[in-house]
Structure 1
Amino acid sequence: MPRHSRGGRPPRIVFVEPAETQVLALTVEQTVRLDRALNVLAADPADVKPHATATALRDYQHDGIRVIFYATALGSILIVTYVEAD
């Protein structure tokens, strides 16, 4: 069973610039893969490996999608700072 913060509710996901602009440039197929990746992240963001250059950031890569994000202290919000798709 996935662990969620805040009593079982998934975290809110927020995109900051330039990630928001990067998302707007994705194709429909890439957006579907991004949605799947965000569902995985929301299920257990603590399980994602730290980014190589900043330990507060997390770096998730799967199925041609890369999402760099960090979670608030209580894990109630995931802040996406970078999105990449091939």
Structure 2
Amino acid sequence: MSSPVSPDHSPRRSQVVMVEPALSQLEKLTARETHRLDRTIVAISVNPELGTPVPDTLLRDYIDDVDGVRVIYYVTAFR
């Protein structure tokens, strides 16, 4: 019999906070588009380094070709 995985051993996910322009865009998405975006945000929260750095900024640009989603984001010191 196996024991449940301790929270100490699960991967740490980053906290995701949406800024106003992103919130406005969310209101225009269909349920299917929101679902695809959710999967992409989970992937980024698990590995914030997925995106490509945008030169001369703190921004990162991540494109999920499978789901057809592009997210531009930044990572803080708290991740």
TM-score, structure 2 as length reference: 0.75
Runs of 5+ unmatched residues, structure 2: 1-9
- Provide the residue aligned with 2:45 in structure 1: 42
- Provide the residue aligned with 1:57 in structure 2: 59
- % same residue: 43
- How many residues in Structure 1 have an aligned counterpart in Structure 2? 68
RMSD of aligned residue pairs (Cα, Å): 1.7
- Provide the residue aligned with 1:19 in structure 2: 22
Whole-Å Cα distance in 2 between the matches of residues 14 and 31 of structure 1? 16
Q: CA deviation at 1:24?
A: 1.3
Query: Are the structure 2 counterparts of residues 54 and 17 from structure 1 closer, same or farther at C-alpha, using a change threshold of 3 Å?
Result: farther
The partner residue of 1:32 within 31, 35, 38 is: 35
**Which has the higher relative contact order, 1 or 2, with Cα contacts under 8 A spaced 6 or more apart?**
1
Match of 1:18, SS state, is: helix
The residue type equivalent to 2:32 in the other structure is E
Q: CA deviation at 1:54?
A: 4.0
Query: Are the structure 2 counterparts of residues 33 and 54 from structure 1 closer, same or farther at C-alpha, using a change threshold of 3 Å?
Result: farther
The residue type equivalent to 1:68 in the other structure is I
TM-score, structure 1 as length reference: 0.69
Whole-Å Cα distance in 2 between the matches of residues 9 and 22 of structure 1? 27
